[in-house]
Amino acid sequence: MRALDKFWLAVLILLPVLALLVLPPFGQRMVILVGVYALMGVGYQLVFGQLGALNLAQGALFGVGAYTVALTAPTLGLLSLPVAILAAALPAAIVAGPILRLQSHYFALATLALASLIHLAAVHVESITGGANGLAGFTALLPRGPILLVIVWICLILTIVVQARLFAGPMGERARLLRQAPLVAATLGIDGGRWRLVAFVIGSALAGLAGGLSAAVSGVVSPEITGFPIMVLCLTSVVLGGARHPMGAVLGAAIAVCLPELLRDLQSAWLLAYAAATLLVVLWAPEGLATLIDRWRGVRPVPPVSPVVPAHLEAVDGPQRLTLDGVAKHFGGVAALQGVSFTLERGEVVGLIGANGSGKTTLLNVIGGLECADGGTIMLDERRINHLAPHAIARVGVGRSFQSLALTGDTRTADIAHAIETGASFLLLDEPAAGATDRERSDLASLIARLRAAGRGVLIIDHDIELLSRTCDRLICLDRGAVVAIGRPAEVRANPIVRASFLGVEEAAE
């Protein structure tokens, strides 16, 4: 997400001010509604836009906020709004733990089931919700008109400014990693589960606040407010406006509120037009209208900031030795790793070689916690790290780069730079030189030398045996999951078993 520039900030502040000064009450009411829907949308951007999780409960939680205000406003007045926030955030927090682990389509279904439960309750628990008739006559203690407009827009502007500021920096980068490459995020120590939990609860809290404010605007609450159409409206407006643009939710909400007025003759056909517009945006402008407007204004989307390796590498505190003892891993009946034992000291560079399928990447995955070892132990000094989650392993000092990343805008070394940035004592590099030019290879070699000098331990996989011979203190050769040679580069390269496993001549001799 980009930062909010002056143009959009001006729009955001001028809109409510002008509304207060020039618009008749009816127009002001529309501006309030824009603010309310935008607030729900901003909360939705957190979960759907930043983390890419298709949450289908946002509309129902909006309804929960509305009902809460309808029930508590007669006694609490404005204080019913914080209660609405809690009322929406609480069920989200309760179900979040188990359902956030689910994959995309199951997560969507789980939130849909939650939303359906809320809707059922609104219709059928008549003693509280008033059933199909809903609730009315609760606004006596609530502000209305211009004051309500000011409250809504202050909430909205604050939320947008805070969110835009947060996600314009390193947090936005981390969110992008979580969305596009969750495994990489984990190996950089980002706890995806925690992020999703926080985003889901905050997003739901905003839905509750928006719902509560909507009750204050309309003065009546009925079960429709928990229904699926509200959810569809929220989703489509965020997509239409731009799921990751700070102004996306506002723009989408503005269109959603104004379109029915513009198409008044067509009555409910406006929703048809709205859905059609959303479909067109999904097909041809997936970044949304706000981004499209930025492009017309000549503002280019900022390429994501790729971290660069700092010129001077600081020495880091942390564990001294990574020890593998008898590590084994099976996939089905196939032994991917068997009895792998070695140690890696700080300030040492070890190269891992072997033919395709010999288990090199699996070994890195097992050390980094992406796969669980079936046998043996992996120790960091005296601490066993076998059964830690990947992000926890990253936090105790093991960083990781990947073979081929589909991240946009990243330079070759960005991935390594990310890993260095975490201050890891040990770095696992998976084919950093694959597809690199000669120039990039020599840069890589000097980077590895600097890492050694800064006291980091490096385990590196590559097929460029010259590069490894120049940079590594030792080489380990894997064949069918087992260590067949370990020692100084020249020794390992001269080893007949190593040559055979690279060339496949062992079968040729049979």
Partner 1 sequence: MSAPVLQVGGLALAAGDIVALLGGNGAGKTGLFETILGFRASVRPVHLFGRDVTGWPVERRVLAGVGYVPEGRRVFAGLTVRENLEASSSLVPVERRRRVEEMLEMFPMLGERPDARAWLLSGGQQQMLALARALMNRPRLLLLDEPTLGLAPLVVNDLLSRLGPMAAEGMAILVGEQRAGLVLRVAQRGLVLSRGRIVRSGTASDLAADPTLADLMAGA
Partner 2 sequence: MAYALVALGFVLALNAAGAVNFAHGDLVVLGGAAAVVIGLWTGLPGPLLLPFVALALGIAGIVAARVAILPLVARPPEATFVATIALAAMIEQGLTVTMDAAPRTAPPLLGTGAVEIAGITLGRQPIAIVVVGATLVVAMWFLLERTQVGRRMRAVSADRHMARAVGIPVARYVVLSLALAGALAGIAGFLLGHQFLVAPTQGAGHMLKAYIAVAIGGWGSVPGALLGALGIGLFETFVSAAVGDAWASAALYLAVLAVLVLRPQGLFGEPVGRRA
Q: Hey, which residues does 457 pair with through a beta bridge? A: 426
220 touches, from partner 1, partner 2, none (C-beta below 5 to 8 Å by class): none
251, 240 contact by CB (below 8 A): yes
User: b or e along 321-333 (b: 16 or more beta carbons within 10 Å of the residue's beta carbon)?
Assistant: bbbbeebbbeeee
d(Cα 259, Cα 431) in Å, to the nearest integer?
A: 53
276 touches, from partner 1, partner 2, none (C-beta below 5 to 8 Å by class): partner 2
Q: Which is nearer to partner 1, 16 or 351 (CB)?
A: 351
Instruction: Rule CB under 8 A: say whether 496 interacts with partner 1.
Output: no
Task: Indicate the residue type of 413.
Answer: T
268 touches, from partner 2, partner 1, none (C-beta below 5 to 8 Å by class): partner 2
User: Helices 80-99 and 192-218, interaxial angle, to 10°?
Assistant: 150
411 touches, from partner 1, partner 2, none (C-beta below 5 to 8 Å by class): none
Q: Which is nearer to partner 2, 232 or 484 (CB)?
A: 232
Q: Which is nearer to partner 1, 267 or 404 (CB)?
A: 404
User: b or e along 453-464 (b: 16 or more beta carbons within 10 Å of the residue's beta carbon)?
Assistant: eebbbbbbbbeb
Instruction: Rule CB under 8 A: say whether 165 interacts with partner 1.
Output: no
Map the footprint of partner 1 across residues 316-335, applying CB under 8 A: 334
Q: What is the DSSP string of 18-69?
A: HHHHH--HHHHHHHHHHHHHHHHHHHHIIIIIIT------HHHHHHHHHHHH
CB atoms within 10 A of CB 74: 15
236 touches, from partner 2, partner 1, none (C-beta below 5 to 8 Å by class): partner 2
- 12 is written with which tokens? 């955001």
Report in angstroms how near the CB of residue 164 gets to partner 1 at its nearest: 37
Using a 10 angstrom Cβ sphere, with 0-12 exposed, 13-18 middle and 19 or more buried, the burial of residue 443 is: middle
Q: Which stretch binds partner 1 (CB under 8 A): 197-205, 351-359, 378-386, 484-492?
A: 351-359
Instruction: Rule CB under 8 A: say whether 484 interacts with partner 1.
Output: no
Q: Which stretch binds partner 2 (CB under 8 A): 31-39, 137-145, 281-289, 413-421?
A: 281-289
Instruction: Rule CB under 8 A: say whether 269 interacts with partner 2.
Output: yes
Q: Which is nearer to partner 1, 240 or 337 (CB)?
A: 337
257 touches, from partner 1, partner 2, none (C-beta below 5 to 8 Å by class): none
| Alpha carbon of residue 34 to chain centroid | 27
Map the footprint of partner 1 across residues 382-441, applying CB under 8 A: 431, 434-436
498, 492 contact by CB (below 8 A): yes
Map the footprint of partner 2 across residues 491-510, applying CB under 8 A: none
Binder to partner 2 among 75, 104, 133, 442 (CB under 8 A)?
104
Task: Indicate the residue type of 475.
Answer: L
Q: Which is nearer to partner 1, 330 or 463 (CB)?
A: 463
Report in angstroms how near the CB of residue 72 gets to partner 2 at its nearest: 24
Q: Which is nearer to partner 2, 11 or 113 (CB)?
A: 113
Q: Is 486 helix (H, G, I), strand (E, B) or coil?
A: strand
Q: Hey, which residues does 475 pair with through a beta bridge? A: 351, 487
Instruction: Rule CB under 8 A: say whether 108 interacts with partner 2.
Output: yes
Map the footprint of partner 2 across residues 68-97, applying CB under 8 A: 95
Residues 6+ apart with CB under 8 A from 87: 64, 65, 67, 68, 208
- 318 is written with which tokens? 């942390």
Q: Strand 375-380 vs strand 321-331: parallel, antiparallel, or unpaired?
A: antiparallel
Report in angstroms how near the CB of residue 10 gets to partner 2 at its nearest: 30
Q: Which is nearer to partner 1, 244 or 329 (CB)?
A: 329
Total interface residues for partner 2 by CB under 8 A: 43
Report in angstroms how near the CB of residue 432 gets to partner 1 at its nearest: 11
Q: Which is nearer to partner 1, 311 or 509 (CB)?
A: 509
Instruction: Rule CB under 8 A: say whether 465 interacts with partner 1.
Output: yes
Instruction: Rule CB under 8 A: say whether 443 interacts with partner 1.
Output: no
Binder to partner 2 among 9, 161, 232, 285 (CB under 8 A)?
232
Map the footprint of partner 2 across residues 17-56, applying CB under 8 A: 52, 54
User: Helices 25-44 and 58-76, interaxial angle, to 10°?
Assistant: 130
114 touches, from partner 1, partner 2, none (C-beta below 5 to 8 Å by class): partner 2
Cα–Cα distances in angstroms (integers) from residue 27 to residues 15, 21, 31, 40, 157, in the given order: 12, 11, 6, 20, 19
Cα–Cα distances in angstroms (integers) from residue 162 to residues 42, 157, 168, 410, in the given order: 11, 8, 10, 27
Instruction: Rule CB under 8 A: say whether 110 interacts with partner 2.
Output: yes
Q: Which stretch binds partner 1 (CB under 8 A): 52-60, 146-154, 338-346, 457-465?
A: 457-465
| Alpha carbon of residue 344 to chain centroid | 33
Cα–Cα distances in angstroms (integers) from residue 89 to residues 75, 84, 455, in the given order: 21, 9, 46
Instruction: Rule CB under 8 A: say whether 126 interacts with partner 1.
Output: no
Q: Is 425 helix (H, G, I), strand (E, B) or coil?
A: coil
Binding site for partner 2 (CB under 8 A): 52, 54, 95, 98-99, 101-106, 108-110, 112-114, 116-117, 120-121, 123-124, 228-229, 232, 235-236, 239, 266-269, 271-272, 274-276, 278-279, 282-283, 286
Binding site for partner 1 (CB under 8 A): 334, 355-357, 431, 434-436, 463-466, 499, 502-505, 507-508, 510
